[in-house]
């Protein structure tokens, strides 16, 4: 009750400080009345009642959102706007994202109508590929053909599909300027990005002499086994060598031994440059090491770029001396990354009893609030370090509302325009000093948008503000879930923070829904096991349904995996069949080795995050750090 009174008092104080007219300035409208009037004006504009909307806008001339009525009016009559009107709006409100947005939309409309000279007259540099392509087409159609075609290559030579607006100028350029060399570069970029449809489409642009190699490049990407047929690639030229190198890289990930055999043949038959020969040998040998087929210490000429692949291989094999040697062979900027400093300490710890070097390394890492920092703290016997900053004062938070963009964003949320509110924040946050960013993010959190506050904090480099980045939402439901399913509350909160950042309406591409991202099939199974009512798919958007079911499912996984949180987290993310297979492959391995060896990057990072988030939430709840089931544990 005391907290509620305090929050209401703070809100009332802030209301008086940042409302343009105050609560009531003697005959003026209250903030509530201004909001209602603003909504009516927007409704009038959408219905085409411009005169009625203008009348209300005159009454709201001092309201912080008054410029947005002009924005909505301009947006709805975009086809009628003149250049003077568009630029006048921008000049009157240079910090309003909507004003710039209207300009870009108006400019695009000039292109759509074929008003090319008007487009060029008002065009401004932009990152929009669509508008850049419109500009090149405008240049071409107004006589500057060479300049237009000169500008195409940077837009065409990318590893992704470009907007339809680029097609007209691309088609002209392809007929007049496209070469096999440029087409090959785009094919390489598309293959590197695994854009398979684009890569297949690009094959048509090669002349007959090059098309076979383009097809071969695509084929070894789709099916690396092709590269084992050495006779198919007997020609020795730069293109064949690039195809072979890519095929060997892909094959090494699937069948290291076959890649090693194939490389032995190509190394003798093809004149790979020394640096490329070193690179291919490194990736093939690292794959063999990962399969337990090669023990290799770094040599003086060994590629430092391959060191991380060897290190990952020897973590999996638990060959500590080789692991240490390869970490020490890494480039300096990579070697001193937290991940490799942890594994260097582990390697030294495993090969030297009572190592002072390992102890000091653990103590240093334990200063970090991270997965590796928390593991190092358990290894070194020290406490975890949260490095948490204090919440900004009420005065600091009120000052944030004096920034026009922040004040408009908060008010836009109040009138139900979350889209433009987010645009305001996206626009202003990078331009604020950290203290103002924090204060603005706290406002976003305090008015009921904690998920956006998390995103804002992460984007604004406010990583030490745990109250912002790790809120505790739906607490009664999680407390009930913790009690009923017998799962530690920090663990449940960690899953929710990782899965959806507590977003009740979240839905994944796999159709997982709600706070704990339950698949409908998994939710029905959890309900059956727990004796709860069978949910519909849409029921899973309700936290009161989703959280109990998710809590029971997590509890079931923990029991299935003998209370191993890493295994349960892996199963929750990737499925029990995969977690079972990965556990079988490394049965008896130290748990941190198993986590580092999870083949799916997404699941590997997921498990690390859940473990780290559980420690953070224990801290936020004032509880001792929960056992992570990593240090001193092995895979069953």
Over residues 30-53, the pLDDT tens digits come to: 999 999 999 999 999 999 999 999
Which structure tokens are listed for 370? 């991270």
User: Does 345 reside within a domain?
Assistant: no
Residue 134: its pLDDT value, please?
Answer: 98
Looking at the structure, tell me whether residues 412 and 488 fall in a common domain. no
What does each C-alpha distance from 341 to 298, 331, 440 come to in angstroms? 18, 13, 36
447-477 per-position pLDDT tens digit: 888 888 898 888 777 888 999 999 999 999 9
- Are residues 490 and 461 part of one domain? no
Give the Cα separation of 386 and 470 in Å (integer).
12
- Maximum Cα–Cα distance across the chain: 91
**99 in a domain, yes or no?**
yes
Give the model's pLDDT for residue 158. Answer: 97
What is the rounded CA–CA span in Å between residue 617 and residue 113? 56
Full-model pTM: 0.88
- The residue segments making up the domain with residue 55 are 2-134
**566 and 544 in a common domain:** yes
pLDDT in tens, 230-267: 999 999 999 999 999 999 999 999 999 999 999 999 99
Token pair of 411 as six digits: 């008010």
Residues 6+ apart with CB under 8 A from 238: none
* Tokens of residue 137, six digits: 């087409």
| CB-based burial, 23-39: b 16+ in 10 Å, e otherwise | eeeeeebebeebbebbe
Do 509 and 606 share a domain, yes or no? yes
Torsion over CA: 264, 270, 272, 274 (sign): positive
Q: Indicate whether 524 and 557 sit together in one domain.
A: yes
Percent of the chain at pLDDT exceeding 70: 96
Where residue 598 falls among pLDDT bands split at 50, 70, 90? very high
Question: For 27, left (φ over 0), alpha (ψ -120 to 50), or beta?
Answer: left
State the SS3 of 85-127: HHHHHHHHCCCCHHHHHHHHHHHHHHHHCCCHHHHHHHCCCCC
The terminus-to-terminus CA distance of the chain in angstroms comes to 48
Domain co-membership, 522 together with 615: yes
Q: In this structure, is residue 40 part of a structural domain?
A: yes
Report d(CA 328, CA 336) in Å as an integer: 10
Question: How many residues does this entry show for the chain?
Answer: 636
The angle at the Cα of 619, spanning 617 to 624, to the nearest 5 degrees, equals 110
Dump pLDDT digits (tens) for 288-307: 999 999 999 998 777 777 89
pLDDT at 22 over 60: no
Q: What is the pLDDT of residue 451?
A: 87
Rounded to whole angstroms, what are the CA distances from 52 to 9, 35, 57, 215?
37, 16, 9, 64
- Asked if residues 568 and 560 have their Cβ atoms less than 8 Å apart, the reply is yes
Tell whether 49 and 120 lie within a shared domain.
yes
Give the model's pLDDT for residue 171: 97
Is 100 found in the same domain as 63?
A: yes
Among 375, 454, 447, residue whose Cα is nearest residue 418: 447
For residues 376-396, average pLDDT = 86
* Rounded-to-integer distance, Cα 372 and Cα 592, Å: 10
> Quick one: which of 414, 405, 421, 416 has its CA closest to 455?
421
Asked if 374 contacts 612 with a C-beta cutoff of 8 angstroms, the reply is: yes
Q: Which residue has the tokens 């001339």?
A: 61
634 - beta bridge partners?
590
Summary count for the chain: helices (H), strands (E): 37, 0
**Do both 433 and 481 map to the same domain?**
no
Q: What pLDDT does 563 receive? A: 95
For residues 364, 368, 374 and 380, what is the CA-based torsion angle, rounded to 10 degrees? 10
For residues 415 and 204, give the distance between their C-alpha atoms in angstroms, rounded to a whole number.
Answer: 52
Structural domain ending residue among the three candidates 112, 134, 156: 134
Alpha-carbon distance of 442 to 420, in angstroms, equals 18
Rounded to an integer, what distance in angstroms lies between the CA atom of residue 558 and that of residue 458?
A: 30
Classify each residue of 74-98 as buried b or exposed e, where b means 16 or more C-beta atoms within 10 Å of its C-beta: bbeeeeebeeeebeebeeebeebbb
- Same domain, yes or no, for 612 and 482? yes
What pLDDT sits at residue 393?
Answer: 84
Q: Which of 106, 134, 162 is the last residue of a domain?
A: 134
- The pLDDT assigned to 265 comes to 96
Q: Is 447 inside any structural domain?
A: yes
Please indicate, yes or no, whether residues 610 and 480 belong to a single structural domain of this protein: yes
For the residues 338-345, what does the mean pLDDT come to?
A: 97
Q: Is residue 149 part of a domain?
A: no
Please tell me the predicted confidence (pLDDT) of residue 560. Answer: 97
The pLDDT of 208-221, averaged and rounded, is: 95
E strand map for 570-632:
none
CB distance 372 to 392 below 8 Å: no
pLDDT at 98 over 90: yes
How much is the average pLDDT of 119-136?
Answer: 97
DSSP letter (8 states) at residue 416? T
DSSP 386: -
Contact by Cβ (8 Å): 72, 42? yes
The larger pLDDT score, comparing residue 203 to residue 21, is at: 203
What mean pLDDT is predicted for residues 178-199? 97
pLDDT of residue 291: 93
Rounded to 5°, angle at Cα 399 from 394 and 402: 145
Residue 6 has pLDDT above 60, yes or no: no
Q: CATH number of the domain that 495 lies in? A: 1.10.530.10
SS3 assignment, position 627: coil
Is residue 347 domain-resident? no
> Is residue 366 a contact partner of residue 377, using CB atoms and an 8 Å limit?
yes
Whether residue 10 is predicted with pLDDT greater than 50 in this model: the reply is no
Beta strands in 158-260 (DSSP E): none
- How many structural domains compose the chain? 3
What 537-542 contacts at long range (C-beta under 8 Å, 24+ apart), as own/partner pairs, is 537/511, 537/513, 540/513, 540/514, 541/504, 541/505, 541/513, 541/514, 542/504, 542/514
Q: Shortest CA distance to 547 belongs to which of 446, 486, 628, 478?
A: 478
Structure tokens belonging to residue 451:
């998920």
Angle at 518 between CA 512 and CA 520, to 5 degrees: 80
Residue 609: what pLDDT?
98
Is residue 215 in some structural domain? no
SS3 assignment, position 590: strand
Which domain-ending residue is among 469, 491, 514? 469
Q: Which of 573, 571, 545, 543 is nearest to 557 (CA)?
A: 571
Q: What is the mean pLDDT of residues 146-152?
A: 98
Mean pLDDT, the chain, whole residue set: 92
Alpha-carbon distance 536 to 524, whole Å? 8
- Same domain? For 461 and 487 the reply is no
The H or E element containing residue 213 is helix 208-222
Q: How far apart are CA 9 and CA 13, in angstroms?
A: 6
pLDDT at residue number 15? 40
Report if residue 373 sits inside a domain.
no
Provide the pLDDT for residue 566.
97
Question: In this predicted model, which residue has the larger pLDDT, 24 or 407?
Answer: 407
What the block records as the tokens of 547 is 């959280």
């Amino acid at each position: 009750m005391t907290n509620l009174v305090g929050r209401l008092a703070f809100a009332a104080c802030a209301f008086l400080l940042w409302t343009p007219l105050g609560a009531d300035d003697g005959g003026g409208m209250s903030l509530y009345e201004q909001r209602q009037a603003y909504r009516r004006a927007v409704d009038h504009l959408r219905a085409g009642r411009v005169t009625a909307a203008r009348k209300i806008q005159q009454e709201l001339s001092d309201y912080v959102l008054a410029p947005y009525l002009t924005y909505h009016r301009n947006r709805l009559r975009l086809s009628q706007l003149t250049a003077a009107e568009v630029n006048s709006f921008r000049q009157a409100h240079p910090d309003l994202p909507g004003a710039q947005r209207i300009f870009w939309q108006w400019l695009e409309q000039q292109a759509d109508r074929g008003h090319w000279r008007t487009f060029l007259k008002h065009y401004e540099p932009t990152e929009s590929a669509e508008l850049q392509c419109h500009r090149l087409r405008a240049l071409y159609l107004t006589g500057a053909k060479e300049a237009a075609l000169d500008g195409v290559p940077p837009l065409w030579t990318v590893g992704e599909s470009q907007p339809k607006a680029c097609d007209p100028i691309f088609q002209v350029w392809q007929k007049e300027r496209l070469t096999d060399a440029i087409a090959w570069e785009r094919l390489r970029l598309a293959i590197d990005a695994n854009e398979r449809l684009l890569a297949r489409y690009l094959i048509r642009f090669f002349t007959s002499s090059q098309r076979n190699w383009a097809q071969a490049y695509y084929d070894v990407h789709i099916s690396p086994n092709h590269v084992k047929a050495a006779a198919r690639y007997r020609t020795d030229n730069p293109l064949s060598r690039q195809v072979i190198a890519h095929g060997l890289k892909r094959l090494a990930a699937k069948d290291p031994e076959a890649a090693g055999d194939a490389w032995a043949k190509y190394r003798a038959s093809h004149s790979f440059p020394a640096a490329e020969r070193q690179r291919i040998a490194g990736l093939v040998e690292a794959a063999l090491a990962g399969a337990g087929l090669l023990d290799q210490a770094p040599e003086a000429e060994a590629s430092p770029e391959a060191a991380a692949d060897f290190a990952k291989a020897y973590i999996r094999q638990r060959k500590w001396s080789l692991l240490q040697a390869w970490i020490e062979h890494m480039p300096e900027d990579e070697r001193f990354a937290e991940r490799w400093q942890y594994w260097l300490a582990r390697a030294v710890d495993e090969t030297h009893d009572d190592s002072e070097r390992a102890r000091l390394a653990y103590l240093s890492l334990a200063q970090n609030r991270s997965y590796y920092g928390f593991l190092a703290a358990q290894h070194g016997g020290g406490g975890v370090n949260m490095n948490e900053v204090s919440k900004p004062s009420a005065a600091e938070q009120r000052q944030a509302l004096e920034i026009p963009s922040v004040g408009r964003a908060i008010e836009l949320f109040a009138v139900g325009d979350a889209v433009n509110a987010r645009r305001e924040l996206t626009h202003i946050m990078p331009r604020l000093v950290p203290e103002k960013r924090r204060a603005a993010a706290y406002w976003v959190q305090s008015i009921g948008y904690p998920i956006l506050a998390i995103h804002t904090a992460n984007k604004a480099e406010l990583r030490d503000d745990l109250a912002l980045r790790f809120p505790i939402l739906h607490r009664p439901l999680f407390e009930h879930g913790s009690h009923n399913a017998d799962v530690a509350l920090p663990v449940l909160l960690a899953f929710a923070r990782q899965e959806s950042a507590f977003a009740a309406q979240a839905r994944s591409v796999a159709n997982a829904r709600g706070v704990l991202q339950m698949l409908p099939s998994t939710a029905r199974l959890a309900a059956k096991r727990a004796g709860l009512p069978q949910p519909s798919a849409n029921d899973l958007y309700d936290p009161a349904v989703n959280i109990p079911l998710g809590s029971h499912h997590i509890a079931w996984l923990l029991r299935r995996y003998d209370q191993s949180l890493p295994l349960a987290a892996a199963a929750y993310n990737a499925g029990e069949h995969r977690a079972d297979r990965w556990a079988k492959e490394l049965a008896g391995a130290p748990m941190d080795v198993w986590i580092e060896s999870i083949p799916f990057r997404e699941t590997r990072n997921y498990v690390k995050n859940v473990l780290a988030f559980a420690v953070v939430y224990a801290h936020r709840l004032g509880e001792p750090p929960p056992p992570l089931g990593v240090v001193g544990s092995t895979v069953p």
